[in-house]
Amino acid sequence: MSAKAVREHYGKTLLARHLSEHGVNVDARGFLVRSDVKDASSEHTWASLLDENPWAKTTKLVAKPDQLIKRRGKAGLVYVNKTINEVQAWVDSKLGQTVTVDNVEGILHTFLVEPFVPHQQEDEFYVAITSDREGETLLFCRDGGVDVGDVDAKASRLQCGLDRTPTLEELQTFVKDAPVSRRTQLATFYDALLKCYRDLHFTLLEINPLVVDDEKVTPLDLAAKIDETAHFLCQSKWGPTDLPAPFGRPEFPEEAYIRSLDAKTGASLKLTILNVTGRVWTLVAGGGASVVYADTICDLGFAHELANYGEYSGAPTDEQTFNYARTVLGLMTRTRRDDGKVLIVGGGIANFTDVAATFRGLVKALKMYRDELLAGNIKIYIRRAGPNYQEGLKMMLKLRQESGLFIRVFGPEQDAVSVCPLALGLVPEDSLQDFDPDRREVKVDEKAKVQPPPVPGSPVPPSPQRTFSAGSLSSLSLDAMSQTQFSDKTRCIIYGLQARAVQGMLDFDFMCKRKKPSVAAMVYPFQGAHYSKFYWGTEETLVPVYPSLSQACSKHQDASVLVNFASYRSVYDTCIDAFNHPQLRTLAIIAEGVPERQTREIIAKAAEKQVALIGPATVGGIKPGCFRIGNTGGMLDNIVLSKLYRPGSVGYVSKSGGMSNELNNIISHNSDGVCEGVAIGGDAYPGSRFVDHLLRYEANDDCKILVLLGEVGGTDEYDVCEAITSGRITKPLIAWCIGTCASAFSFEVQFGHAGACARGRGEAALDKNKALAQAGAVVPRSFAEFGDAIKMVYEGLVSKGTIVPKPEPDIPRVPLDYTWAKRLGMVRKPANFISTISDDRGEELKYAGVPISEVFAEDLGVGGVLCLLWFKKRLPSYATKFVEMVLMVTADHGPAVAGAHNTIVAARAGKDLVSSLASGLLTVGPRFGGALDGAARMMTDALDRGISPLDFVTECKKKNKLIMGIGHRIKSLENPDKRVSIIKEYALKHFPKTPTLNFTLAVEQITTQKRSNLILNVDGCIAVCFVDLLRHCGAMSVEEADELIGDGCLNGLFVLGRSIGFIGHHLDQKRLKQPLYRHPWDDISYISDDL
């Protein structure tokens, strides 16, 4: 969702902060009173609120709900000119109350209290700013307040282009209906308001009334929406935002959770609860498909039972899909019904989302809720297609067999919404055949088709009265698009390292027998010029990659298209850069989440430069047999299934990328196939519009039938109506606008696409479908009949001879990539590496299977992480504490030891940190740091052989072997090593058993009788204690512990601990700016050979 409504209080305070920068001061005093005001433990009691706002104690006040409620005054929900005691009593009486406003029922939970502004009726004005494709529109009414009436009919308008700010003189003329004494104030206010509107990325701002007196202007009532996609631009200006749910629909914690997931990923995750006790639940992939499924369920008479609207798309990981699915399943199974429930898992044919990957997450969630699903008599109906869909559907068939759940499974052989009447019990269960990976043809039983029942009592919507915008039919807009006819010689530049998309385009080129690849070059500014390797059929080819677009354009003059995969943060700059290269005549902008203002500026610049645009938020477009943009059309199996390797007679335009692939499928089943198809993108302001592409198809002699799939929100479909009625479109047009379900909801629902929300008159899908039918388009009764309508028109043109079906060519073959073939289970190959200690493939990093969030939540610490990664075990807390103690005591032993000395010499030679550290670590061996392994081996061997400490000492003496871990140059019985004492005492106190340490201490008693410095040293103490720790902590067997010690984990502890000190010595030398070290000659004995 792009445009988000904000609370009135937030909107006023935001404006007040920024209007002052333009010389306009607005009184925005006020505070919110929420439901917890009566809770004595709350931080927001009446007492605390009044302490923060002492002015409220002595000022007459206004109180009203701040919950996006329209027409509060007429509903008796504005309490005016009252004392704080009166306001407190009134608010307390209203909090928690259920009220109905404009047929919407909701609970009052948030109130705004602000100063009462005494004024006369003639001081009230209506002020508003709205956004459109060309810029902003200022609206003004002389009479404001509750009785403003029909603003659309009464308001004066001033259109301001994107780069135009009206002068104060123009603004004074604009507000000429106001008293002369108020015009300067109003003009100054409008000037500042427009600047703030643009700077803060508002999409709607309505003040009614604005009170203007001799001293100041005060917005009494405000409604505003901001462009949420501009958050990365405005975060510091907005501050903490307050974006409430629509009135009448309190936000569920699960919705907030999904919104937080959505904010953390490049995928799209949306969830709106419509009726938590409803019988029909959906898990639908794709913004457009999610609306189509909701439409179909409502068309079939089940709007009152539809429990949720939501979508997951944009290639979410299996972990993200799992979290999304388990959230929905948790809500669904919270209540039970005698008639059971149904879960519809659907979607269009995906372009690039790995269906099997998302289904792994879904299967995991279904297994988690298996018992609840069975107990709730919940039936599951699945229809999915796209990359790797066969494996995904096989997983569902396997789950059905193993779990006992009622699951029906269908693939692209069935239309997208064909499962809806089946799931709703409107057709027999045997009317559709389940997916069978071995079956090639599927017959659809006529019993599976059901006509949507008329909605009782629903009036036919009146045809909206509006003036068509000249923008889409202007010669400027159409020239750029009309000159864009893709061919088998069209070449492009790809912005971004999009290897998968490039390989898909090259495979399509090879399949279509193009002479030259369509991808001329790639641009990636974060690396130098290089080549990237791809396949051309079975052969390998190189595609050049340049660090700048100018270099790519200068080297490849034949490239006329830029496919821009830049992120929403940088796409604006890359597009502006592209306009400086005249050879680029078409830009396809793939990124979602581009701020609306930036999109409109890109559109304006493209019109100025006569450059055609597709997107933003698009998958691209496809011209069968000629050219493919990015991932359009999906994987090669879908290219073949939808016959996109050769041209047909149908040209389509859609907003949705996923539904464009569904259209490929529908058109191929009901006609001779696609001539060309484009997904213009789901944003509110797509770079090109429906009419632009339909007029291109009108001019293309090979295109005989036009298809339009519009949606709720926006008014671009009316330009198509005008083009039909004016005779500019003469070819038959089959059209449908999705989002008809919106009229069934009592509150505003923002669908998956940013532009899929009716913002004004005539933007409802029902209105647009009726207008298209009246203009002469073929409009079916529902999306379920869309294919039948295409078939009817196609067969009619065939019978007239307008279309002459051509023989089907041989299906071209393109070798399958090894990586994809492996995913499909067609080939296997041993891995080059095996790793069992960590996994970075899921939603979060895991150490030995433990998620990193759990590592921190349970405070495992460095010791716990080391145990997970080294031993693949979760050791007790005393063990992880001991590991950290070892690291601390081995961290350093002064600058004189070999490792530290080497590190210092390397640092003083100007080497970097890693080189200095490596120099020090290379000294670790039998003579430095190796005593740990040696001591562990000797003491453990003696203990395991069962010999006494005395016999062990005697044996070593006879063999002339030093006892590793015994002896110290400086320390002795009289001057003990504190490090040894600390480690020894900790082990004796906390370890379950210490037989190796006890044996070694007995050996020490014997050796110190000979000489007092033959004590247990720190290396030996660490070694024997660690043996006891691993052998007796209960997490592993003795054999496992001995294997770990034999593999060198003790030396690893020394290396890890001592690295801390070595790094410290390197940094110390750098800090001290020490020069190159040269050993003094007088400290070297020079011995001549002749001696």
CB of 882 closer than 8 Å to CB of 866? no
Compute the radius of gyration of the chain from its Cα atoms: 37
CA 693 to chain centre: 30
CB of 282 closer than 8 Å to CB of 271? no
List Cβ<8 Å contacts ≥24 apart for 444-447: 444/414, 444/418
Task: Report the 10 Å Cβ neighbour count for 781.
Answer: 15
CA 458 to chain centre: 38
Name residue 133's amino acid. R
Planar angle of CA 501, 506, 509, nearest 5 degrees: 130
* Residue 354: partners with Cβ closer than 8 Å, 6 or more residues away: 315, 387, 388, 823
DSSP assignment letter at 744: G
- Token code pair at residue 284: 């639908």
d(C-alpha 1083, C-alpha 1042), whole Å: 45
CB of 648 closer than 8 Å to CB of 618? no
d(C-alpha 254, C-alpha 565), whole Å: 32
d(C-alpha 671, C-alpha 653), whole Å: 16
Is position 901 annotated as part of the catalytic site? no
Sheet with 650-654: list strands edge to edge: 627-628, 620-623, 674-679, 650-654, 705-711, 733-738
Strands 733-738 and 406-410: unpaired
DSSP assignment letter at 459: P
d(C-alpha 987, C-alpha 898), whole Å: 29
Of the listed 109, 201, 753, 968, which one is catalytic?
Answer: 753
Strands 559-564 and 586-589: parallel
CB of 863 closer than 8 Å to CB of 882? yes
Per DSSP, helices labelled H in 652-748 are: 657-670, 690-699, 716-725
CB of 999 closer than 8 Å to CB of 1023? no
CA distances from residue 710 to 433, 515, 657, 756, 762 in whole angstroms, order as listed: 31, 36, 12, 10, 13
- Token code pair at residue 789: 């309508």
CA distances from residue 1013 to 867, 966, 970, 998 in whole angstroms, order as listed: 34, 9, 7, 19
Q: What is the DSSP string of 784-834?
A: GGHHHHHHHHHHHHHHHTSS-PPPPPPPP--PPPHHHHHHTTS-----S--
Task: Report the 10 Å Cβ neighbour count for 63.
Answer: 24
CA distances from residue 699 to 485, 611, 692, 1026 in whole angstroms, order as listed: 10, 19, 11, 82
Query: 345 in helix, strand or coil?
Result: strand
Query: 650 in helix, strand or coil?
Result: strand
How far from each other are the two terminal CA atoms of the chain, in whole angstroms?
Answer: 90
The string over 474-489, giving b where at least 16 C-beta atoms fall within 10 Å of a residue's C-beta and e elsewhere, is eeebbebbbebebeee
Burial grade of 536 (CB within 10 A; 0-12, 13-18, 19 or more): middle
d(C-alpha 362, C-alpha 328), whole Å: 11
**Helices and strands of the chain, counted as H and E runs:** 38, 35
Task: Report the 10 Å Cβ neighbour count for 70.
Answer: 11
Name residue 524's amino acid. Y
Positions annotated as catalytic residues are 753
